[in-house]
């Protein structure tokens, strides 16, 4: 029988109290993407680096996350999106461009690559809103909390999965995440970490999955066998009914995980799946390993695990538990190097390292948490949020040119952006929109300066600069100021605001030949 919702919620409260007693901060410290720390199967197939080397963008809403993706020069331009605050349905809208394909009500990482999504500052919480990865590759998600995503009831998001991957996904690393629900399918929730339809080379590390009917799966049905090569290590599965995880076909590796209160079943290897299960700690749980709910059996290799107060059911026609004395039924060759902690210290190490807001600590293989070295690409001091524009040389080509745009608020004019007067401005009718400067004949431009009006400095949060003749993206950014690009001959240039913290006010859109 599944635990009632009240028991699930009380378990969540107990876990919170335990964390507080242990001195673990429940709010996230400043963090950076430790891209060099990727482990497991995500190191294979060329490795997983996310947005390493790309532009860093700060986002406080789901719309700003989408705008950052859409503001890239292409769908594969590397980017690191630093997220702070609560992301929910009310602040997550669809943003469109040639470099993205997003949707409202879900964080959509679709048909893109080379992206890191990392929680920073006071923490990043995705509240009732899931993260959907589809037809994408080289993705890192780190130091975030995703909670209470529903597939039924209101509101719904991502099919009820906290993090879901499907349709030709490759190389994903999810690290130091907290994924939680407040019940099972009858309460409207689905899986916390699901992989379907040809998803491969994934690592889930140092994360907490709790208070859910379903921990996660690899393969949506007995015929969806194209998934696999997934590593689970140093995770805490707590108060999960089943699927910790469920594997349909494919190969997986589970080591140094702490499983507490698996209520019905745990690692469910079926339909030809193979899983290496080593140096884990199973506690106060039932049927933690085997093939369950089907006669299509899988296999496992076991070594060094601790089974603490684990009960086992009797074998049946669709029930093949590995215990009470689990033995290996296959051999799994692991292609990467790893140094596991001894199973006896796993509860303590995982308690101190797993989940969002634990300082991205990792184990050294000797049962001692370590703080990783900073990402060398991370600036030691944050850049100013509103840098002043660099004064260019030469004449401002916008003076005397024409102007138009996508919309304008009452009392504003497109022409105000090219009149040389900082006291007049253009505003879109909402928080996003575009304004253009145009000439009667082709004009060479290599630098623009966008000046926000007094009182509106820093309102623009993400933008693109377009060659309006061809639609090509000339530059992107996150604050107004100066942008340079290879000299381009054009008749019309467009400044497109894709995200803002309020109503933008653009006083001047200056253009220069050099």
What is the C-alpha to C-alpha distance for residues 405 and 369, in angstroms, rounded to an integer?
55
What is the C-alpha to C-alpha distance for residues 390 and 448, in angstroms, rounded to an integer?
10
And the tokens for 40?
A: 């497991």
Catalytic residue (choose from 214, 243, 248, 351) = 243
Element (H, E) at 510: strand 506-512
Within 17-160, strands assigned E span 55-59, 79-87, 96-97, 100-101, 107-110, 113-127, 131-134, 137-142, 144-147
What is the C-alpha to C-alpha distance for residues 256 and 235, in angstroms, rounded to an integer?
7
Q: Give residues with Cβ within 8 angstroms of 15, minimum separation 6.
A: 210, 238
The length of the chain in residues reads 514
And the tokens for 80?
A: 């690191």
Radius of gyration of the chain (CA): 25
Under 8 Å between Cβ of 41 and 34 = no
What is the C-alpha to C-alpha distance for residues 499 and 404, in angstroms, rounded to an integer?
20
User: b vs e for 434-464, b when ≥16 Cβ sit within 10 Å of the residue's Cβ?
Assistant: bbbbbbeeebebbbbbbbbbeebeebbbbbb
What is the C-alpha to C-alpha distance for residues 114 and 76, in angstroms, rounded to an integer?
6
Element (H, E) at 466: strand 460-467
The dihedral over CA atoms of 68, 74, 80, 84, expressed in degrees to the nearest 10, equals: 10
- DSSP secondary structure code for residue 189 in this structure: B
352 among known catalytic residues: no
And the tokens for 428?
A: 């879109």
First-to-final CA distance of the chain: 72
Where in the sequence numbering do the catalytic residues fall? 243
């Amino acid at each position: 029988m599944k635990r009632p919702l009240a028991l699930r919620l009380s378990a969540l409260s107990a876990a919170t109290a335990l964390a507080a007693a242990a001195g673990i901060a429940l709010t996230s410290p400043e963090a950076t993407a430790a891209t060099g720390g990727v482990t497991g199967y995500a190191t294979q197939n060329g490795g997983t680096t996310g947005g390493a080397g790309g532009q860093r963008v700060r986002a406080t809403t789901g719309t700003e996350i989408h705008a950052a993706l859409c503001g890239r020069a292409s769908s594969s331009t590397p980017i690191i999106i630093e997220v702070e605050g609560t992301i929910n349905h009310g602040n997550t809208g669809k943003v469109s461009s040639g470099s993205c394909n997003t949707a409202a009500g879900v964080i959509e990482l679709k048909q893109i690559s080379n992206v890191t999504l990392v929680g920073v500052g006071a923490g990043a919480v995705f509240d009732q809103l899931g993260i959907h990865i589809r037809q994408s590759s080289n993705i890192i998600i780190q130091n975030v909390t995703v909670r209470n995503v529903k597939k039924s009831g209101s509101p719904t998001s991502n099919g009820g999965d906290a993090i879901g991957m499907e349709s030709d996904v490759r190389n994903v690393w999810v690290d130091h995440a907290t994924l939680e629900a407040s019940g099972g399918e009858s309460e409207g929730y689905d899986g916390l970490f699901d992989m379907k339809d040809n998803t491969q080379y994934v690592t889930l590390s140092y994360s907490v999955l709790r208070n859910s009917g379903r921990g996660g799966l690899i393969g949506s049905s007995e015929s969806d066998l194209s998934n696999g090569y997934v590593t689970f290590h140093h995770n805490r599965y707590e108060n999960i009914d089943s699927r910790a995880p469920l594997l349909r076909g494919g190969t997986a590796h589970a080591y140094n995980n702490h499983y507490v209160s698996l209520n019905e079943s745990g690692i469910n290897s079926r339909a030809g799946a193979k899983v290496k299960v080593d140096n884990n700690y199973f506690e106060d749980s039932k049927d933690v390993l085997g093939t369950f709910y089907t006669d299509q059996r899988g296999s496992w290799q076991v070594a060094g695990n601790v089974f603490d107060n684990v009960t086992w059911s009797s074998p049946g026609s669709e029930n093949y538990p590995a215990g009470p004395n689990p033995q290996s039924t296959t051999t799994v060759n692991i292609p990467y190097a790893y140094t596991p902690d001894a199973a006896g210290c796993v509860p303590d190490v995982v308690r101190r390292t797993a989940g969002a807001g634990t300082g991205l600590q990792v184990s050294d293989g000797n049962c001692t948490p370590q703080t990783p070295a900073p990402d060398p690409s991370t600036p030691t001091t944050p850049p100013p949020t509103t840098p002043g524009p660099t004064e260019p040389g030469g004449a401002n080509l916008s003076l005397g040119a024409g102007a138009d745009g996508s919309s304008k608020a009452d009392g504003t004019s497109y022409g105000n952006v090219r009149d040389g007067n900082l006291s007049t401005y253009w505003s879109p009718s909402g928080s996003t929109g575009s304004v253009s400067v145009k000439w009667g004949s082709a004009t060479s431009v290599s630098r623009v300066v966008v000046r926000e009006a007094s009182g509106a400095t820093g309102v623009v949060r993400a933008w693109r600069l377009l060659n309006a003749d061809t639609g090509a993206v000339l530059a992107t950014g996150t604050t107004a100021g100066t942008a340079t690009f290879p000299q381009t001959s054009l008749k019309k240039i467009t400044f497109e605001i894709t995200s803002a913290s309020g109503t933008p006010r653009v006083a001047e859109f200056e253009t220069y030949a050099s």
